[in-house]
């Protein structure tokens, strides 16, 4: 059961002009399961992505980088679940190439115009023949309103499909430098993502796809995909593991006729905010659906010397199994939070200046100050807040003005169960 | 149930001349529990220690450092369980000082000659009045053969007491520069430790006390305590959390009459080896008794560019919850090991040169090479080895000649249960 998250209804996911999605059951690892997704993009679409930092990056990630670098215009994305096609050597690269070639043949483009994505078990070979045999059915299912089906088809250990959508006010006619389809026509940003475990900064076992119908200059697209990732998927952690397959792709079809060429475009601020909002909603949905999660924890670290040290403190808290099990138990064993802060690697941290608050639903309680328990703190307050499903830990390092936020979840019996049973 | 570890019988723990131990039930956190240990050292004993790197180091750790720096000759150690006296600010320091003063009054020494140690819940105040009230009973129980009782009295979430002992051949009369008690008299090294969770490199929620009856020059003692810690307690991890209270102390009473003044002493090699062996046995016992542990995992990383990068790879594997749950499930989901290696932070790691073996009980199977699954690997082999209670993961980085070893355990339902229930 995810923490306060339900997949939006299909009607709440606005189609993005220029994007069609189709799914199929290819029997890649298990029969009778929608495990193949094809996303077709209109000619002229711009695509940018960020990918895993894991040295064992999966074959599809290698091909994504290669095809994006060739810059011949991406026309399709193909996503399979079941097998990650990671740590599969040359054979894995060949299987991914064959997949792209088959998609290209079906859609009438080149293999370099196809981006492949895989998620599932590592170290096993992708049965590309089954994947390829499933492609015609996925193509036959292509439709602009299949975001909901695609969000379901990319799930692995996820218990809910993750999707988010925004509409913002679009151009009125007569704005210079802009082809305006109609006065006040809305612009759309819609995205889907998958991921529930192996989630950590610098991407995770997560796949994220966000599309908008705006045209975006390549440099804006590239900087926006990075900014959105840094503000969302790179700020979440479930278990501290970084996947071989993490990919986040931002698509700008331009099919609305609205083109943003620079940051001075009147539509840039709203478009940028909508993309980041959708990315954050998807990223938070991954944590809410974290394997075994029963609590959604926001960790805010402020008054740091640098943003990097704030992030280190936030992750030290977020990665501590002792802190995470205490949240699961609703146990205000707050010393574990202080102990985690103490070993975040800030050598000159003055624990006498540090303050820690625990909060939920608008209430906030000072827990620690002057190197120990706050004089005003009573355990009943901590116990009450720890019962909540959404909890905020706020840390003031007393060193400067930098800050960082990380979202995580608790560590429960079910995390162990899910990961001990995953391949069974 | 610890993995292949049972506390040695009391008779197997050789007394160390110059060391007397006594325990008592002081009711520090729970009634009717031996929670207080007093260790009295003969005059002239030399003591050195290494302590937690956590910035929130506990009050007793601060006092240990202060008293060792004063160098007036340590005469007693006092250890309590139940309350860690960490993150307790000035009040915590006062409680630790009062404890030392009370011990000093009982034993006829100064407070600076007493080292205090605490382990248990963080952020709660040490009831020093109850601790002090229990001291006379602990003093009354002082005896040279109470190592076994002391090993039990320092336990917290430990399920077995941890102790180890060695005797080595001692001096024969007539060796220059040595007071020889009798020909062939044995020298003794005996130690106890506690710890089961919050265990990570650079010490852990562990307390370790090793004593020998040899006299050791201060520089030898200081270098040996560091060397032994680096080869033992700093090579284990259960959950990646570093405690506020970690302490490892090496005591050299000199009561055997044998004094080692330099590394050229004929007794130095055997004494050094015995101390390291005892430390390793205690450290491994902590992992074998790791909270919820069902497997004992040795991770050997070789052919690295530097020892540091070997350690980073070993810890990346040892800290991965996905790897640890796969060991718990006896699931040869070896891709998780490769994924962990891939995000150990070695930016120029060539995964094509890396090889990984899985082994147990003399058998070893090549699992991965050339960036993927080894051609010779069959899953039945992996599945058979993963069933074993003691498993070795060996990694060849193909980059150089450095190596490192880390010991860890799996992650089970019971880890979560123990840490979710700890304060209940």
| Token pair recorded at residue A314 | 């936030």
pLDDT at residue number A313 = 95
Confirm whether B205 is a catalytic residue.
yes
A87:B240 CB<8 A: no
Shortest CA gap B417–chain A (Å)? 7
pLDDT tens by residue, B101-153: 999 999 999 999 999 999 988 888 999 999 999 999 999 999 999 999 999 99
| Token pair recorded at residue A17 | 């002009």
User: Helices A321-328 and A335-342 sit at what angle, rounded to 10 degrees?
Assistant: 160
Return phi, psi of residue A221, to 5°: -60, -45
Query: How many other CB atoms sit within 10 Å of the CB of residue B273?
Result: 13
**DSSP helix/strand/coil, B176:** coil
Listed in sequence order, the DSSP H helices in B231-304 are 268-288
A219 contact partners, CB below 8 Å, separation of at least 6: none
Buried b (16+ CB within 10 A) or exposed e, B165-204: bbebebbeeeeeebebeeeebebbbbbbbbbbbbbbbbbb
pLDDT tens by residue, B243-282: 677 899 999 999 999 999 999 999 999 999 999 999 999 9
Q: In a mutagenesis test of the B interface, which of A29, A52, A243, A335 is the best target, namely the one with the most B β-carbons within 10 Å?
A: A335
Q: Which of B7, B99, B190, B205 is catalytic?
A: B205
Residues in chain B, overall count? 424
CA distance linking residue B7 with residue B22, whole number of Å: 19
Residue in A87, A335, A422 closest to B368 by CB: A87
B40 contact partners, CB below 8 Å, separation of at least 6: B19, B20, B21, B22, B75, B76, B107, B139, B142
| Token pair recorded at residue A324 | 């995470």
| Token pair recorded at residue B38 | 């007093």
CA distance linking residue B122 with residue B84, whole number of Å: 5
The vertex-A64 CA angle with A61 and A69, nearest 5°, equals: 130
Domains and CATH numbers, chain A: 10-288 (3.60.70.12), 296-421 (3.10.20.340)
User: What is the predicted ipTM?
Assistant: 0.71
- Kindly state the average pLDDT of the residues B184-207: 72
Is the pLDDT at B363 greater than 80, yes or no?
yes
pLDDT at residue number B255 = 94
B86:A336 CB<8 A: no
CA distance linking residue A329 with residue A311, whole number of Å: 25
CA distance linking residue B254 with residue A265, whole number of Å: 81
Is the pLDDT at B204 greater than 50, yes or no?
no
Looking up tokens 């036959």, which residue turns up? A140
Q: Which residue of B has its CA nearest to A197?
A: B322
CA distance linking residue A318 with residue A236, whole number of Å: 9
B346:A371 CB<8 A: no
pLDDT at residue number B222 = 96
Q: Which of B89, B94, B81 is nearest to B28 (CA)?
A: B81
A362 contact partners, CB below 8 Å, separation of at least 6: none
pLDDT at residue number A198 = 53
Q: What is the 3-state secondary structure (H, E, C) of chain A?
A: CCCCCCCCCHHHCCCCCCEEEEEECCCCCCCCCCCEEEEEECCCCEEEEEECCCCCCCHHHHHHHHHHHHCCCCCEEEEEEEECCCCEHHHHHHHHHHHHHHHHHHHCCCHHHEEEEEEEECCCCCCHHHHHHHHHHHHHCCECCCHHHHHHHCCCCCCCCEEEEEEECCCCCCCCCCCCCCCCCCEEEEEEEECCCCCCCCCCCCEEEEEECCEECHHHHHHHHHHHHHCCHHHEECCCCCCCCCEEEEEECCCCCCEECCCCCCCHHHHHHHHHHHHHHHHHHHHHCCCCCCCEEEEEEEEECCHHHHHHHHHHHHHCHHHHHHHHCCCCCCHHHHHHHHCCCCCCCCCCCCEEEEEECCEEEEEEECCEECCCCCHHHHHHHHCCCEEEEEEECCCCCEEEEEEEECCCHHHHHHHHHCCC
Q: Which residues, listed in sequence order, are joined to residue B260 by a DSSP beta bridge?
A: B216
Shortest CA gap B270–chain A (Å)? 36
β A259-260/B36-41 pair status:
unpaired
Residue in B87, B197, B333 closest to A368 by CB: B87
**In this predicted model, which residue has the larger pLDDT, B176 or B188?**
B188
Residue in B240, B242, B412 closest to A416 by CB: B412
* DSSP run (H or E) holding B20: strand B19-24
pLDDT at residue number B241 = 57
Residue in A340, A349, A421 closest to B329 by CB: A421
* Chain A residues in contact with B334 (beta carbon < 8 A): 123
pLDDT at residue number B360 = 94
Is-contact B123 A373, C-beta < 8 A? yes
Per-residue pLDDT in tens (0 to 9) along chain A, 424 residues: 788 888 999 989 999 999 999 999 999 999 999 999 999 999 999 999 999 888 888 899 999 999 999 999 999 999 999 999 988 888 999 999 999 999 999 999 999 999 999 998 888 899 999 999 999 999 999 999 999 999 999 998 888 999 999 999 877 654 444 444 444 678 999 999 998 665 443 333 689 999 999 999 999 999 999 999 999 988 887 665 566 778 999 999 999 999 999 999 999 999 999 999 999 999 999 989 887 889 999 999 999 999 999 999 999 999 888 888 889 888 887 888 988 898 888 889 998 899 999 999 889 999 999 888 899 999 899 999 999 999 999 999 999 999 999 999 988 877 777 767 654 4
Shortest CA gap A3–chain B (Å)? 19
Q: Which residue of B has its CA nearest to A316?
A: B241
* Chain A residues in contact with B317 (beta carbon < 8 A): none
Q: Which of B161, B159, B183, B179 is nearest to B170 (CA)?
A: B183
Looking up tokens 């399961």, which residue turns up? A33
* Chain A residues in contact with B419 (beta carbon < 8 A): 321-322, 325-326, 329
Q: In a mutagenesis test of the B interface, which of A420, A421, A422, A424 is the best target, namely the one with the most B β-carbons within 10 Å?
A: A420
A123:B372 CB<8 A: yes
Return phi, psi of residue A22, to 5°: -145, 145
Is the pLDDT at B205 greater than 70, yes or no?
no
A422:B331 CB<8 A: yes
Shortest CA gap B52–chain A (Å)? 9
* Chain A residues in contact with B416 (beta carbon < 8 A): 325, 328, 411-413, 415-416
pLDDT at residue number B250 = 97
pLDDT tens by residue, B25-83: 999 999 999 999 999 999 999 999 999 888 888 899 999 999 999 999 999 999 999 99
Shortest CA gap B182–chain A (Å)? 49
Distances in Å between the Cα of B258 and the Cα atoms of A211, B41, B183, B188 are: 78, 17, 11, 11
CA distance linking residue B299 with residue B282, whole number of Å: 18
CA distance linking residue A134 with residue A128, whole number of Å: 10
- Mean per-residue pLDDT over chain B, rounded: 89
B339:A423 CB<8 A: no
β B363-369/B247-252 pair status:
unpaired
Query: How many other CB atoms sit within 10 Å of the CB of residue A251?
Result: 29
């Amino acid at each position: 059961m995810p923490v306060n998250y339900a997949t939006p209804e299909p009607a709440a996911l606005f189609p993005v002009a220029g994007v069609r999605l189709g799914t199929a059951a290819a029997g890649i690892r298990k029969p009778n399961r929608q495990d193949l997704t094809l996303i077709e993009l209109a000619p002229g679409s711009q695509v940018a992505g960020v990918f895993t930092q894991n040295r064992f990056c999966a074959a599809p990630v290698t091909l994504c980088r290669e095809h994006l670098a060739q810059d011949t215009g991406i026309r399709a994305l193909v996503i399979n679940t079941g097998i990650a096609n990671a740590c599969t050597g040359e054979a894995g690269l060949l299987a991914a190439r064959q997949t792209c070639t088959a998609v290209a043949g079906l859609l009438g483009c080149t293999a370099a115009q196809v981006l492949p994505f895989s998620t599932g078990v590592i170290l096993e070979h992708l049965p590309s023949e089954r994947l390829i045999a499933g492609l015609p059915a996925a193509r036959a299912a292509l439709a602009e309103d299949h975001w909901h089906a695609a969000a379901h088809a990319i799930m692995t250990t996820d218990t809910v499909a993750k999707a988010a959508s925004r509409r913002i006010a679009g151009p009125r006619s007569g704005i210079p430098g802009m082809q305006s389809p109609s006065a006040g026509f809305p612009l759309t940003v819609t995205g889907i993502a998958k991921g529930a475990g192996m989630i950590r900064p610098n991407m995770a076992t997560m796949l994220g796809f966000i599309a908008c119908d705006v045209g975006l200059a390549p440099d804006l697209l590239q900087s926006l995909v990075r900014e959105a990732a840094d503000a969302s998927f790179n700020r979440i952690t479930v278990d501290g593991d970084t996947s071989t397959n993490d990919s986040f792709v931002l698509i700008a079809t331009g099919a609305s006729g609205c083109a943003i060429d620079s940051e001075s475009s009147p539509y840039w601020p709203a478009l940028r905010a909508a993309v980041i909002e959708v990315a954050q909603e998807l990223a938070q949905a991954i944590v809410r659906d974290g394997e075994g999660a029963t609590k959604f924890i926001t960790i805010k670290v402020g008054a740091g010397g640098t943003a990097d040290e704030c992030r280190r403190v936030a992750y030290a808290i977020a990665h501590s199994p002792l802190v995470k099990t205490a949240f699961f138990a609703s146990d205000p064993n707050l010393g574990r939070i202080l102990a985690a802060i103490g070993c975040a690697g800030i050598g000159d941290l003055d624990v006498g200046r540090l303050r820690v608050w625990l909060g939920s639903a608008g209430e906030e309680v000072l827990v620690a100050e002057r190197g120990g328990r706050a004089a005003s703190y009573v355990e009943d307050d901590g116990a009450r807040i720890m019962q909540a499903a959404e909890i905020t830990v706020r840390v003031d390092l007393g060193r400067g003005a930098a800050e960082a936020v990380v979202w995580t979840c608790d560590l429960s019996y079910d995390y162990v169960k899910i990961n001990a049973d995953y391949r069974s």
